[in-house]
Amino acid sequence: MFSGIVEEMGALKAVKKSLGGARMSILASTVLQDLKIGESVSVSGTCLTVTGVEDQEFFVDVSSETLNRTTLGSATAGTPVNLERAMKLNERIGGHLVTGHIDGMGLIRGRVADGNSVHITIEAPDEILRYCVQKGSITVDGISLTINTVSEKAFSVAIIPHTAKVTTMGLKQLGDSVNLENDLIGKYVERLLQNSGQLPVSPQPVIDRDYLQKRGLI
């Protein structure tokens, strides 16, 4: 479990892909402190298990499922990533509860300066937007952010200078993809209401070519 408060921005050192997934080495400094094999690290919002640790880098194995459903599938050596170690229960939660299980990907469609902040509009699929509410929380590339507005096709967030400086959001441009994870609370509430008959069960999506293309699977 994570809080969405990024500890540092690292970079992929190497990506070795195979039929079953990929092995990645990630350059870091802060998150390496006391990091052990078997522990979890959020890499741009994706919860990954540490399989090796060295002086200036750590290693993770990424499944084909994760490569297909997140931006890690298009990442190459040199790609910057947001890093956060699993949170401790005796510390303050500065963001919100984040699992590191990506719900889908979005596309940056707008980037407008507003004083010292930057307003970013992110186009997202319906299954993401259904849980988005104004002033609610969402995780974008592992960053806990507050939703400013929600429209039929997108939502917007404000990036303050500190966030732009210490995370990849300061580097993102129009058309870039981002990993998205909805707040857990909305999904649990929906499920409980469905089980009690107070809310209709959501129809299963039709898995066709259009569905796969929108999610970057083909």
> What does the DSSP 8-state code read for residue 203?
P
> Taking the domains of the chain in order of start, what are their residue ranges?
8-85, 104-183
The pLDDT confidence band at residue 142, using thresholds 50, 70 and 90, is very high
Q: Which residue has the higher pLDDT, 190 or 23?
A: 23
* Placement of tokens 């307003």 in the chain: 119
Distance, CA of 206 to CA of 97 (rounded, Å): 30
Instruction: Give the residue-averaged pLDDT of 27-56.
Output: 97
pLDDT score, position 216:
57
pTM of the full structure:
0.86
Domain formed by 8-85, architecture: Beta Barrel (2.40)
The pLDDT confidence band at residue 132, using thresholds 50, 70 and 90, is very high
Instruction: Give the residue-averaged pLDDT of 159-171.
Output: 96
pLDDT tens per residue across span 88-131: 888 888 889 899 999 999 999 999 998 899 999 999 999 999 99
Statement: residue 156 has pLDDT above 70 = yes
Of 84, 7, 72, give the one whose Cα is nearest residue 39.
84
Length of the chain (residues): 218
pLDDT tens per residue across span 174-188: 999 999 999 988 787
Q: Do domains 8-85 and 104-183 have the same CATH topology?
A: yes
Distance, CA of 26 to CA of 12 (rounded, Å): 4
pLDDT tens per residue across span 52-95: 999 999 999 999 999 999 999 999 999 999 999 999 888 888 88
Is residue 186 packed enough to be buried (19+ CB in 10 Å), middle (13-18) or exposed (0-12)?
A: middle
Statement: residue 215 has pLDDT above 60 = no
User: H or E segment at 72?
Assistant: none
Instruction: State the chain's mean pLDDT as an integer.
Output: 91
Signed CA dihedral, 182, 183, 184, 187: sign only? negative
CATH of 104-183, one of 2.40.30.20, 3.90.1150.10, 3.20.20.70, 3.40.50.1820: 2.40.30.20
pLDDT score, position 17:
92
